[in-house]
Structure 1
């Protein structure tokens, strides 16, 4: 039986993403004066979007058991926490759906797949993963946050980044790699971005290298670039 190495790097990287997301959000809600003429306002919003995406990518790594290899309870905890921080996603609900995606990729049994154009596919994707109780919790949290922080800060740095991150995850992690027809010699029915590690990280934590992810799902996001030929 193979022995899973207890590598702590994934744990440290997951913790770094959570701390950066929470720390930047705290600063932007409490101390940043919104100025629409300043490029920093939009830069901070984009950075917070990228960190939101990192929360979901971390939860995704946990679904493959690589957020905390060899530590199943900690791995599940990391997945549960990071999924909840990303708009109250429920990890036990996401887990079987994601493995169904890998097992039945780009078929009628794939919850991530929709045979159609961008917008119908995007809304089909959202319906698979967003529940009414998530929307209610987000609405409740928004109303609580604006009691303590400026409303425009809450919208710009808490609400909008979560919404934009869903586009980022969908476009680079689902739509772009799985759209169109795939040849019979493509077992993963996935395409891949051209090799550019800087853009691959900035766009979606290397998940544009999507064929490589399906081919080697045991690689965490921060090692996925090594599979790119």
Structure 2
């Protein structure tokens, strides 16, 4: 049995919507709390909260990503679109339609010259990261972020906005890029057309690092799986790899 026959699309009903709603509400509630939290840089909780908000920001982007694949609300395409649009907007005013267009090109031409997320020549992390950002960041986004910051600081302390709103968003871009693009697609690949590899099987690490998107071969092989089903796909793939003695993703 191959992974292709082991994992097929199955109905998810409204579960994707409930999970997306939980992620978005968690991000909003935690941010609302932190914008009033007294900042003392000798308090270790400040750094913990930055990491928590970073992880929730990553979840917001992953929600937009799942909407691009139509698996947030598959029973309602319009709702699926608007959840994706909202999630992309909350993540530094990303253009959802642009993200969708480029992400589908990434899947179609993974790790080739036609992949907008790929940097040829096996560059170092920062060169690739900068190239990656130039594909998605626009002047309009920067202006909107600046305007939003100046409006929000009328109600919230500037220090809180920087520490709990801006810094986690920036850190999240590193998290998403490192675990969702750089590690899975760098170097040589021997599994076309996916040209992606997966991190070792460890669901706790995989969730904390990037909502299971370190299981990236599974995502490319099965883009119809929402992020919360990639763990099971990775388990099946590992069992089949051991049985067949193949190198795996």
**TM-score, normalised on structure 2?**
0.88
Alpha-carbon offset, residue 29 of structure 1: 0.7
Quote the residue 2:43 is aligned against.
Answer: 38
Is residue 147 of structure 1 aligned with residue 154 of structure 2? yes
Q: How big is the shift at 1:91?
A: 0.7
Question: Structure 1 regions of 5+ residues with no counterpart?
Answer: none
Distance 1:35 1:125 in 2: 34
2:45 pairs with 1:16:
no
Q: Answer with 211-220 or 114-123: which moved more.
A: 114-123
Shift of 1:71: 1.1
Kept in 1: contact 2:110–2:193 (CA 8 A): no
Q: Distance in 1 between matches of 2:10 and 2:185?
A: 31
Q: Which residue in 2 is equivalent to 1:97?
A: 102
Alignment partners' CA distance in 1, 2:114 and 2:159: 41
User: Runs (4+) of structure 1 moved beyond 6 Å?
Assistant: none
Total equivalences in the alignment: 225
Note the aligned Cα RMSD (angstroms). 1.3
Q: TM-score, normalised by structure 1?
A: 0.95
Question: SS at the partner of 2:35?
Answer: helix
Question: Which segments of 5 or more consecutive residues in structure 2 lack a partner in the other structure?
Answer: 1-8, 239-249
Per-residue CA deviation, residues 175-218 of structure 1 (Å, 9 max, x unaligned), is 010000112x4431111100000000000000000001001111
Residue 189 (str. 1) matches residue 195 (str. 2): yes
Contact 2:92 2:145 in 1 (8 A): yes
